[in-house]
Structure 1
Amino acid sequence: MKPHRLTILPGGERVITERIEGVRSAAIGLWIGAGSRDEPVTKAGVSHFIEHLLFKGTERYDAVEIAELFDTMGGELNAATSRETTVVYTRVPDDHLDVALEVMTDMVFAPSLNDIDSEREVVLEEIAMVDDNPQDLVHDLAAESVFGDHPLGRPVIGRAEVIASISRRSLHGYHRSAYTGPNVVLAAAGNVDHKRIVAALRKSRKGVESKAAALPRKPAGRVAAPGIRFLKKNTEQYHVCLAGPGIRRDDPRRYASALLDAILGGSASSRLFQEIREKRGMAYSVYSYGSQYLDAGQIGIYVGTREENLRECLEVIGAELRDVGAGNLRNGELERAKENMKGRLLLSLESTSARMSRLGKAVVLGMEILPIEEIERRIVAVTEDDVAALARDLYTPELLSAAGIGPSEKLFRTAVQRLNPSAVERAA
């Protein structure tokens, strides 16, 4: 028997819930299958801007009332925009569930989109904040180095020139096209009753029968050859991302990919953390990461280091990538990564918010919801050969682009030359 229940409303909205015995909290998320990759270049950042404006009020609740209501409940109302989704979410005591649902559905489906100019300034300040933070900004350069001018290569937060000029009419138009029934999922986990939640959403959508199509999604297409992106800033450190194409989210190798990430730079015992930070003291922050999308993916490695350490840092990274790709996994390395992954999975089951996110994200992205036992089985089934083969496919240094922020592009190129000379030559 499945622990969750799924209902599709006449308007195409989907409701998925999971009842968890012994808790008094309810985690709720309204997921919209639209993000920055669904925006034309002339509206880059509109998804994130609308996410902000949802909090500015509806016809029934103004912005202050929304904030006061959730403060009174003891819950925190928040939202997030990614490349493929937008979500408004909260966790509240179960006796406040009905009010929370009523306010959140009103925010998502019937925002007034008022106070645009004041919130426009807030978003412009947020963009400026990212521009002032090279640790964040370099990841945008890395995405651009992999996806070029495709929307997946643009910053989720948007571009200042678009946000500064976009009209209320354009915002309304995008909201109507993106926040449509088949594009919306209501997920809930905790002390929740499925029928009650379905009834609440049905009430808020009374009379809405339209099944308008979701936004057309531009295919990722062919990824460009590895190259270089550099932004000159007078920083104390060089902030570097090595990035390349990853795997799509339905790729059966995703479990091997997660384990490879843990081995390379995803934990305190990972190779890059130990070799660069703990043994050599050349960086405070060093890690690997990965993103998986409908039809594409991206992998990356970040390090922030001073000028005198830059060249050696990249040499160490290159040596570790080649070592794993050659199949030279250390004793107990893969087993430790498997236990880490299984442990984090089990710990997440104690969080109603994590369970809600698991359900909502899976449904809005069209992913299969696997039983925990099956996920564990797939983790255990990954072999050392699987990890090594994926490392060769994704992390061979000659396949990686390099994005950097720092004082000297010449010094950056010299350091990257040792890792991937063809990328430097291509960018010359």
Structure 2
Amino acid sequence: MRGQTGPVLTDRLPCGVQLVVEPMDHVASVTLGVWVGTGSRDEDPTEAGSSHFLEHLLFKGSPRWPATRLAEAVDEVGGDMNAYTTKEYTTFYVRLLAEHLDLGLDVLGSILTEPTLDEADVRAERSVVLDELRMHADEPADVAAEQLAAALFPQHPLGRDVLGSEDSVLGLDAQGLRRFFERHYRNDNLVVAAAGALDPERLAVAVDQVFGARRGGGPPTRTPPGPATPATVISTRPTEQVQLALGVRAPGRNAEQRHALAVLAHVLGGGLSSRLFQEIRERRGLAYSVWADRVLFEETGYLALGAGTGPDDARQVLALLQAQLEDLAARGPTPRELAVAKAFLRADTLLGLEDSGARMHRIGAAQLLHGQVPPLEQLLARLEAVEAEEVAALAAELASGPRVVSAVGPLRPDQLP
């Protein structure tokens, strides 16, 4: 295999799968993941929710690994097996003792190359997915987040809920899901990532054998979203609080500004010392929960600022969210704010890599989304190099762009500007 700076090894196997491995000789576990380069943004409107539905459905098993036997086999060795779907990829993974790696690969490989996908399982799992949709609909904070994304990316798949809608989920059937699987779950659209106590060469041979029958395919073709437009979306509900979110478009995950964006988000709302926490909660007592977050996609992204507050305070809190972004644009972060943000992000990165699962997710995501796994030292050095002027310039760019406001709670449309 081709070596890379540090312990990470990458290879394109003969079967077409990209393999990325990080051996860890000081642990007893191994985490193995299969990353599919397709998510909800790659679905046609009639397919909305297919990636997430398949995430559920593949755990119904394969002819060799029926669902009950699969679950018992993983439980029996103390393993943890799970999956999740995002707007741009779907990940399946298993974490277990290194001595059981062959079992983990056999199980994951089987459900990802020969899933049963029969109509009876689709009918049963449809009810589960619909319950999940309804669960999220009962959470005002989730609704506010989904409204924000929909308004930031109107009439575009990035604005759709990963789960789809009740109508789209009701329209999915085994035949259509099978077509979706055959189109997207092929080797040239897969990354297999592993971290832990393992032999890279032995794993490469085994992965090539397991996935050898799924040659072909490729990453989906994507259409960028159109220009952003200002919007305010309010869902009136008889709740005690208003869940409030303000969003602006931001650079995507390949932009050089992504490092400055990480610092910017932390300065605004990333911790107890952040501007939003100190101004809105500590000084004014207007909210219990207040935050900032950044979401990155292939060619775009967004910054979201939010809080849960009382209905009578919603207008004031919204003004404070906007004012803090504008102030950061005008004056930039202080030297102390910049140092705290960098130190926090560095520690958060390092502390998050202390087990095989975290390391698998880092290398798998990097290989799938960027085509390489940069050395950790390189990432930390670029973060440390972010200057106050970069953050201020990016804040000015964001503050001058179209603003989207999302609110859920006991509000009338005239209560927000």
Tell me which interval the TM-score lies in, with the shorter structure as reference length.
Answer: over 0.9
Match of 2:181 in 1: 175
The 3-state SS of whatever aligns with 2:194 is strand
1:410 to 401, 409, 413: 413
1:222-268 CA distance string (max 9 Å, x none): 22311112222221111111112111111111111100111001122
Between stretches 196-205 and 134-143, larger displacement belongs to 196-205
| Superposition TM-score, scaled by structure 2 size | 0.95
Q: CA deviation at 1:62?
A: 1.1
| Superposition TM-score, scaled by structure 1 size | 0.93
Q: Which amino acid aligns with 2:240?
A: E
1:261 to 265, 281, 298: 265
User: Which segments of 5 or more consecutive residues in structure 2 lack a partner in the other structure?
Assistant: none
Match of 1:295 in 2: 299
Does the Cα contact within 8 Å between 2:31 and 2:93 map onto a contact in 1? yes
Identical counterparts, % of pairs:
36
Matches of 2:159 and 2:143, distance apart in 1: 13
Between stretches 81-90 and 236-245, larger displacement belongs to 236-245
Q: Which amino acid aligns with 1:214?
A: P
Does the Cα contact within 8 Å between 2:228 and 2:402 map onto a contact in 1? no
Q: CA deviation at 1:65?
A: 1.3
1:204 to 206, 210, 228: 210
Match of 1:228 in 2: 232
Are residues 1:392 and 2:402 paired? Answer: no
Q: Which amino acid aligns with 1:119?
A: E
Compared with structure 1, are the counterparts of its residues 144 and 26 closer, same or farther at alpha carbon in structure 2 (3 Å cutoff)? same
Q: CA deviation at 1:214?
A: 3.0
Matches of 1:343 and 1:335, distance apart in 2: 12
Match of 1:13 in 2: 17
Matches of 1:240 and 1:206, distance apart in 2: 49
Matches of 1:347 and 1:108, distance apart in 2: 31
Q: Which amino acid aligns with 2:207?
A: L
Match of 1:153 in 2: 159
Does the Cα contact within 8 Å between 2:246 and 2:321 map onto a contact in 1? no
The 3-state SS of whatever aligns with 2:323 is helix
Compared with structure 1, are the counterparts of its residues 215 and 407 closer, same or farther at alpha carbon in structure 2 (3 Å cutoff)? same
Matches of 1:175 and 1:122, distance apart in 2: 20
Between stretches 368-377 and 382-391, larger displacement belongs to 368-377
Q: Which amino acid aligns with 2:262?
A: A
Matches of 1:23 and 1:201, distance apart in 2: 22
Q: Which amino acid aligns with 1:88?
A: F
Q: CA deviation at 1:23?
A: 0.7
Matches of 1:266 and 1:40, distance apart in 2: 35
The 3-state SS of whatever aligns with 1:77 is strand
Matches of 1:117 and 1:278, distance apart in 2: 50
Match of 1:422 in 2: none
Match of 1:92 in 2: 96
Compared with structure 1, are the counterparts of its residues 291 and 106 closer, same or farther at alpha carbon in structure 2 (3 Å cutoff)? same
Between stretches 174-183 and 321-330, larger displacement belongs to 321-330
Match of 1:31 in 2: 35
- What CA RMSD, in Å, does the superposition of the two structures yield over aligned residues? 1.5
Are residues 1:348 and 2:313 paired? Answer: no
Are residues 1:69 and 2:73 paired? Answer: yes
Q: CA deviation at 1:366?
A: 2.9
Q: Which amino acid aligns with 1:255?
A: H
* Residue correspondences, number: 411
Q: CA deviation at 1:103?
A: 0.3
Does the Cα contact within 8 Å between 2:232 and 2:405 map onto a contact in 1? yes
User: Which segments of 5 or more consecutive residues in structure 1 lack a partner in the other structure?
Assistant: 418-428
1:121-149 CA distance string (max 9 Å, x none): 00000001111111111111000111101
Matches of 1:259 and 1:17, distance apart in 2: 29
Match of 2:255 in 1: 251
